[in-house]
Amino acid sequence: MKIATVVGARPQFIKAAPVSRELRKRHQEILIHTGQHYDANMSDIFFDELHIPRPDYNLEIGSGSHGRQTGAILAKVEEVLLEEKPDALLVYGDTNSTLAGALAAAKLHIPVMHIEAGLRSFNRNMPEEINRVLTDHLARWLFCPTDTAVANLASEGITAGVYQIGDVMYDAFLYNRELALAQSSILDQLNLNPKGFILCTIHRAENTDDPQRLGEILRAVSAAPLPVVLPLHPRTRKIIQEQGLSSLLGSKVQVIDPVGYLDMIALESACRKLMTDSGGVQKEAYFAQVPCITMRDETEWVETVETGWNTLAGADSKRILEALASAAPPAGQPPIFGQGDSARRFVSIIEENGERQ
């Protein structure tokens, strides 16, 4: 098959790495980078470290309001699809690049494949929720990471073309963990002792765009019982500067630039606990068997909470600090994200069903 893949944001490069590797063994892939993320440490570093093939097209869309960014990607992806005439279009997750890519293809009657389909927070204030719901309703093939995702689709009447393949991020994590532990020197660089620090990430719009929520989170981070390492997303760095909130960050917080994936795995594997509002990092906490405190009011990754490895603490400094103090996951972990063979399963399914779709 000839498959056009649209990626644009950091987590999509990581998800695409194992899938592209598997897909290209027997199929042709045209890789389209929308340019939604463009800083070297938000984009190029992942292509280099994960040996992702260079994009065939970089649309260089850059940042913008939701409508402007989504619309610009839609128009440019359409041009590429008209030129390339792929058999299908593959998108990941829930960003503006995901929705714009899916919409461009669906309008041209090119079947859409959605990896990480069926996730729901049931919070329509999140841009990601709008992107996911619409992408799932445009998709012909829906690849779900969890049973909950399959059930979410069923409750919206989507049952055809739905496959539970596990989570491709687990494939990526397993593939790169040994490399990360052998190669990364980030602990030495930052002078960190294994299990002697907390790792934190903050970037979700519902937190960064609300000064009250962001202030509460920064207060909690500063009052954490151990030193905190905070690789800061450019969105959050910009808003902290604009809002004059940097004084809320205490001396025990090490703010650093976003790190590459190998350094991130090394930090996740060595930290005592994780504080985050990221989707991917919640899952990686589970993969690394580290307790996670999620600074959101809901999560799409409900299994991580149900199994006792993740605690929802909202954006309330008291709740976050209580969760940090009390997080004590049980021994053992059920395999809620599959076996690390999701990319292979994805390719087998499209090969088995390609003729019939």
Residues classed as catalytic: 203
What angle (nearest 5°) sits at the alpha carbon of residue 49, between those of residues 44 and 55? 45
- Contact between 168 and ligand UDP by CB under 6 A: the answer reads no
User: What Cα–Cα distance (Å) separates residue 270 from each residue in 291, 300, 335?
Assistant: 12, 25, 21
Please, are residues 101 and 73 in contact by the beta-carbon 8 Å criterion? yes
Structure tokens at 346: 């994805």
Q: Does 264 help bind ligand UD1 (rule: CB under 6 A)? A: no
Q: Return the number of other C-beta atoms located less than 10 Å from residue 26's C-beta.
A: 9
Count of positions (residues) in the chain: 357
Rg, Å, the chain Cα set: 20
Using rule CB under 6 A, residue 231 touches ligand UDP:
yes
Q: Which of 165, 218, 259, 292 binds ligand UDP (CB under 6 A)?
A: 259
**If DSSP codes are grouped into helix, strand and coil, which group holds residue 135?**
helix
Binding mask 265-304 for ligand UDP (x = CB under 6 A): -------------xxxx--x--------------------
**Does residue 96 bind ligand UD1 (CB under 6 A)?**
yes
Choose the stretch contacting ligand UD1; rule: CB under 6 A; options: 32-40, 78-86, 167-175, 211-219.
32-40
Does 36 help bind ligand UD1 (rule: CB under 6 A)? Answer: yes
Q: Which residue has the tokens 């395999």?
A: 335
Name the 3-class secondary structure at 163: strand
Min dist CB 354 to ligand UD1, Å, is: 29
Describe the crossing of helices 168-183 and 342-353 by its angle, rounded to 10 degrees: 150
Size of the site for ligand UDP (CB under 6 A): 16
Please, where are the H alpha helices in 6-88?
10-23, 44-49, 66-84
**182 token code pair:** 């052998």
Q: Is 71 in the site for ligand UD1 (CB under 6 A)?
A: no
When CB distances are held under 5 to 8 angstroms depending on the partner's kind, the choice from ligand UDP, ligand UD1, none that residue 176 binds is none
Q: Which residues of 161-175 are buried (b: 16+ CB within 10 A; e: fewer)?
A: bbbbbbbbbbbbbee
Which lies closer to ligand UDP via its Cβ, residue 10 or residue 219? Answer: 10
Options 28, 63, 241, 243; binder of ligand UD1; rule CB under 6 A? 63
Question: 102 to 141, contacts with ligand UD1 by CB under 6 A?
Answer: 127-128
Among 14, 16, 30, 42, binds ligand UD1 (CB under 6 A): 42
- Say whether 90 sits in a helix, a strand or coil: strand
Output 40 or 154, the one with its CB closest to ligand UDP. 40
List of residues contacting ligand UDP (CB under 6 A): 10-11, 14, 201, 203, 231, 258-261, 264, 278-281, 284
List of residues contacting ligand UD1 (CB under 6 A): 9-11, 36-39, 42, 63, 94-96, 127-128, 203, 234-235, 238
